Structure 1
């Protein structure tokens, strides 16, 4: 298994989109068109690849010189709870520090906020609803 950054022109990008759809959107009843963000091309895409298959991903969109938002974190269901998600987040954070970023924010689905808290993220602000489900604002200084 390897972690690698890809761009939207990379041959693995369609597989990343499919993973994001299957894990994050299909369970909520959304169609495939909902998985692509207008700022995908300007975002960092870190994927976990095993035997040519994308088994995990996490994206980051810069929102200032030193801050930005982690989004679209997805791990293939059979690989969840194996540490792969934490590995993806830590590798992304390491790359962000090297690029001069100092803070990461995110919108965590409420039922997975504990995952991010274990990685040092803190809840701030009030809970809110996004894509029809409860979310929390979270952030972490790098």
Structure 2
């Protein structure tokens, strides 16, 4: 089942309530299962990143964070979809919107560290694997680096 087309792509400000919801979602799905403290969310990239979401009728559906690592090179991280909306194509749609956002800003490439179950999603929009599987230092979950050249 796909979500209706009235889904909206939104760039969040950190003072919005949706940003707080995104923080809660990220913590609940990524860090709480690893028994990490909530302050793990506030790494060096949090305040200098762009926070992108998909919403429907004002409700958060999906989130990701983009950080400029160097001139025109970005890192995509913390991509998450609300549990009740997973499997409906929202992750792919949000990543596609993020690529368009980066293309409009003349970005040259974007990298990410994917959980292994998400490799198919990222390859479906053009990312390629660039490295070996490794364990996240924070969560102990297996990840792999991926890369996309933006044309």
TM-score, L = length of structure 1: 0.92
- Are the aligned partners of 1:48 and 1:55 in contact in 2 as well (CA < 8 Å)? yes
Q: Which whole-Å deviations, capped at 9, do the CAs of 1:58-109 have from their partners, x for residues lacking one?
A: 1110011121110000000111110111110011110111111010100111
Partners of 2:59 and 2:99 lie apart in 1 by: 23
Among residues 40, 43, 47, which one is paired with 1:37 in the alignment? 43
Partners of 2:83 and 2:42 lie apart in 1 by: 20
SS at match of 1:16: helix
SS at match of 1:12: helix
Mapping 1:79-118, distance limit 5 Å: 79-118=85-124
> After TM superposition, what 4+ stretches of structure 1 lie above 3 angstroms from structure 2?
none
Among residues 129, 146, 149, which one is paired with 1:141 in the alignment? 149
Among residues 65, 68, 71, which one is paired with 1:59 in the alignment? 65
Partners of 1:118 and 1:91 lie apart in 2 by: 14
* Shift of residue 53, structure 1, vs aligned partner: 2.2
Q: Which residue of 2 aligns with 1:127?
A: 133
* Shift of residue 26, structure 1, vs aligned partner: 2.2
**Structure 1 gap ranges (5+):** none
User: What RMSD, in angstroms, separates the aligned Cα atoms of the two structures?
Assistant: 1.4
Partners of 2:61 and 2:27 lie apart in 1 by: 13
TM-score, L = length of structure 2: 0.87
1:14 lines up with 2:20 in the alignment: yes
Aligned length: 142
Q: Which whole-Å deviations, capped at 9, do the CAs of 1:36-67 have from their partners, x for residues lacking one?
A: 32221211110122232212101110011121
